[in-house]
Amino acid sequence: MILVVIVNYHSQPLVCACLDQLKGLRRQDLAYFVVDNSERPDIDSIRSRHPDARLHRPGVNLGFAGGCNLGLRYAVETKCDYALLLNPDVAIDDDFIAPLVEALEGQPAAGMAGPLIFEDAAARRLWQGVGRIAWCLGGPVHRGRKPPQERRPMEVPFLSGCAMMVRVEALERTGLMDESYFLYFEDTDFCLRLIRCGWKVLLVPRSHLLHAQSSTIGRNSPLQVYCLSRNRIRLVRRWAGGLSATIFLIFNLTVKVPLMAVVFGICQRRPRLMAAYLKGLVDGWRVVAVKRPSAGNEAGGGGFCERHVLTNRVKVGKAHESLRRRCDP
């Protein structure tokens, strides 16, 4: 059984459309779990149009990682084989699920698989392909805009949380997502923990999706800019070596900060975005709890994320709601 986990944040029409497309695949092995992170209930249409979907409303905005973790835990409890984390703003052309399942079943050492993802625009440019980790530049970097020629599943260092299928068995060793990221880079951190525990992360070129970026939170919103700025630094501090982190700090101060000042302050004339970027920069270096999980943290009982993050779920949710009110106009 495959549990499809979708996090809703004031995007009910998108969630309904996504579920419609999934059911159009006519697969008999799918179950649906929708988490409503909205400040006010935003599930009426979902409940009426898709009564078979299990709906969960935590009462506070847990962020992407917190919402996904509710679904992942349910997948473990119900003994599903796989959990498919899926953004509601994807467009499904054909059965992208079958190649992912085939890849995971063909490689028992693989803990996660994901599709090629293209931008949902006229150009249809590649958004997720074969990537690499460049810590001096801040972590995950995508290679080019052309799909890979190789058609077989390829081992990669990270995938996007937009669409990733996770082997539920792997969660028993790696734990869940780190909810303290709230938005952005929690998926890369999750992939790195899987790999550290000995699992492979696969990109499956025969599977593909279309994605409308940041359609729910808003592109270039203060919250998005803040989280990207802060979490990139937290990811580097947790996973990169001291030299790489130092080089990245120098790169940030000498290149990124002046560049963002030009883009946000002069070109776009949006000083709130620059303020959000600087706040994220400061908070990313100020936060202490960025220790890389050790093998001991990850083994047994849900691992690092289960013990150190999920117990503070409501606190994290309320803190980020306060942040949203400060960042957003």
- DSSP H or E run through 35: strand 30-36
Over residues 242-268, the pLDDT tens digits come to 888 889 889 888 998 899 889 888 888
Tokens 């963002």 sit at which residue?
Answer: 260
**What distance in Å separates the CA atoms of residue 255 and residue 326, rounded to the nearest whole number?**
27
Largest interatomic CA distance in the chain = 54
* Sign of the alpha-carbon dihedral angle for 168, 170, 175, 177: negative
Give whole-number Cα distances, 314 to 62, 220, 309, 318, in Å: 8, 26, 10, 6
SS3 of 2, please? strand
pLDDT of residue 323: 56
For residue 304, the model assigns a pLDDT of: 38
Angle at CA 197, nearest 5°, toward 127 and 66? 60
Which has the closest alpha carbon to 318: 65, 72, 59? 59
Q: Which domains does the chain have, with CATH numbers?
A: 2-211 (3.90.550.60), 222-327 (no CATH)
**How confident is the model over 141-182, as pLDDT tens digits?**
876 667 777 789 999 999 999 999 999 999 988 999 999 999
For residue 309, what pLDDT is reported? 38
Beta bridge partners of 223: none
324: helix, strand or coil = helix
Least Cα distance to 58 among 48, 70, 47 occurs for 70
Cα torsion for 194, 195, 198, 202, to the nearest 10°? 90
* Residue 154 contacts residue 130 (beta carbons within 8 Å): yes
Pairing of strands 30-36, 200-211: unpaired
Q: What is the pLDDT of residue 292?
A: 64
List the chain residues with pLDDT less than 70: 120-123, 143-145, 213-219, 287-329
- How many other CB atoms are there within 10 angstroms of residue 256's CB atom? 17
Rounded-to-integer distance, Cα 138 and Cα 247, Å: 10
